[in-house]
Amino acid sequence: MLAGDQRRIGRGILAIVLLIGGMFFLNILFAAVAVMVNPVQQDGGAAYTPLLHAAGMASVALLTPWSMIIQRWLYGVKGASLHSVFSRFRFDIFGKALPLAVPAWSIVSVVLYWSPLPEASWSHTDVLWFLLATILLTPLQGAGEEYGFRGLIFRVAGGWARGARAGLVLGIVVSSVVFAVVHLSSEVWLNAWYLVFAVELSLITWHTGGLEIAIVLHAMFNTVNFVFDVALRVDMGTAYDRSAGVASVETLAPMAVIVIAVVVVWVRTRGAGAARTPADAEARVEAVTAA
């Protein structure tokens, strides 16, 4: 999408730095405001409150417009092109994937949460606010990550190569490594999961020519997990600890859903499947119009 006669590697690195820098800046800013508005202290630090939860989700959700702004500013390409090769969000594809993703992630969450986790002392009202923030903002948070990593970074890095295949590999590698790194984990199993998750969603994005299915899988995974956290009053500080030694091979259980999703998409889009470039999309539209 962003490939041209010049590889513009420096511009691409700037785009990635602006994206990640903006994400962390907004996250810190929103968290600081949340703590100032609701300064609840626990064990010597700020407690994880519904407002702090909402701030974290909202800050990452803003990656969607921020990615579009960066692309428009540095490359002169309209932000709408990030949706798909048709430059629009395909709600039909999104709608078909949604009822399949939610039950799959729910089953995985039951497995992951089978062993009891430390509980937080949330009030009844806090639980309701956590649930509301999760339902309203977590899907947008997952979508924001997809627009940033499988959208902007994927195509920026892909444009550094001369050939299409080399661009695909480079785009997958760079976007996946950056995705894993920004989670700031020193745990081997967690980093393995982040990498596999990112690679598989990149393949789905490429095969479908858009972000819709990747958004469904990412947004619903996060949302279902947070709903389980709220329902079970899980201490999120402990549950989402990313330091070395906190995870085991069971952490990779969700990988089965992602692998199955890739296989299904691969089968459904092989041959004359989904359009993967703007040129393919334009040709398809012209064919439908002529028919």
pLDDT for 245 = 77
Number of residues in the chain: 291
Look at the chain and report how many structural domains it folds into: 1
| pLDDT tens sequence across 196-239 | 999 999 999 999 999 999 999 999 999 999 999 999 999 887 77
CA distance 183 to 227: 21
State both tokens at 212: 């819709």
Report the pLDDT value the prediction gives residue 7, as an integer from 0 to 100: 76
* pLDDT tens by residue, 161-174: 888 899 999 999 99
- State yes or no: pLDDT of 244 exceeds 90: no
**Is 4 within a domain?**
no
> Residue 157 region, left (φ>0) first, then alpha (ψ -120 to 50), else beta?
alpha
Domain membership of residue 75 as a residue range: 9-290
The pLDDT of residue 270? 80
What is the reported pLDDT for 130?
Answer: 96
Using pLDDT thresholds of 50, 70 and 90, give the confidence band for residue 15: very high
Kindly tell me if the per-residue pLDDT of 279 is higher than 60: no
Average pLDDT, integer, range 13-21: 97
CA distance 174 to 150: 10
Residue 96 belongs to some domain of the structure: yes
**CA angle, 222 then 218 then 87, to 5°:** 140
Q: With pLDDT > 90 as the criterion, what percentage of the chain qualifies?
A: 70
Q: Is residue 94 part of a domain?
A: yes
Residue 1 is assigned to a structural domain of this protein:
no
User: Is residue 223 assigned to a domain?
Assistant: yes
- Among the listed ranges 39-43, 63-67, 132-136, 173-177, which one has the minimum average pLDDT value? 39-43
Output the pTM of the full model.
0.92
- Whether residue 97 has pLDDT greater than 50: yes
User: Is residue 156 pLDDT above 70, yes or no?
Assistant: yes
Please tell me the predicted confidence (pLDDT) of residue 272.
58
pLDDT for 276:
66
Q: When comparing pLDDT for 193 and 241, which is higher?
A: 193
Give one DSSP letter per residue of 4-59, joined into a string.
Answer: -SS--HHHHHHHHHHHHHHHHHHHHHHHHHHHHHS--EETTEE---HHHHHHHHHH
Contact at 8 Å (CB) between 151 and 16?
no
Q: Is 44 left (phi over 0), alpha (psi -120 to 50) or beta?
A: left
